Amino acid sequence: MIRICAVVLMIGLVGLGIDGSIGASGAADSQIRILSPLQGAVIKGDSVEVRYELAKGIHATHVHCYVDGEYQRGFSGVVKGLTRGTHEIKVVAASHDHQATAAEARVTVEVE
């Protein structure tokens, strides 16, 4: 009886487009976190090194960086040209064809 219920459940999941590999999907997902600057950091000057840790999963190959929602073309680990005030720095994991994944991290910093 339990075997029949399990088979019916799996058929139902497949019918819904769910592969049934509950718990295994985490290995395929990319994850990212910003190591520095820390949330709320006070930055002196107009640039800051952004250090991050990226667990690529099966889709991500690199990151895109945004400051206040604006894409930072040519980002190589340092954000330059920051003006005084509060800024949000966001890094997003991206695939080889530059498509953003769901993995992202953000911090807000104050530039003096």
What's the predicted TM-score (pTM) here? Answer: 0.72
The per-residue pLDDT for 28 is: 61
Question: How many C-beta neighbours within 10 Å does residue 105 have?
Answer: 19
Number of domains in the chain: 1
Tracing tokens 């395929």 back to the chain, one arrives at 28
Q: Domain range holding 99?
A: 27-111
Q: Is residue 72 part of a domain?
A: yes
**More confident of the two residues 70 and 61:** 70
Q: Is residue 50 part of a domain?
A: yes
Q: Is the pLDDT of residue 15 over 90?
A: no
Side-chain half-sphere CA neighbours of 86 within 13 A: 4
Quick one: average pLDDT of 80-93? 96
Write the CATH number for 102.
Answer: 2.60.40.10
Residue 72 · residue 92 · CB < 8 Å: no
Residue closest to 64 by CA, chosen among 12, 54, 112, 46:
54
Query: Which amino acid appears at position 109 of this protein?
Result: V
Q: Is residue 12 part of a domain?
A: no
- Give the confidence band of 49 by pLDDT, cuts at 50, 70, 90: very high
The per-residue pLDDT for 10 is: 40
Q: Which pair of structure tokens corresponds to residue 26?
A: 């985490």
Cα separations (Å) of 50 from 10, 14, 32, 63, 111? Answer: 44, 42, 12, 11, 14
The per-residue pLDDT for 11 is: 42
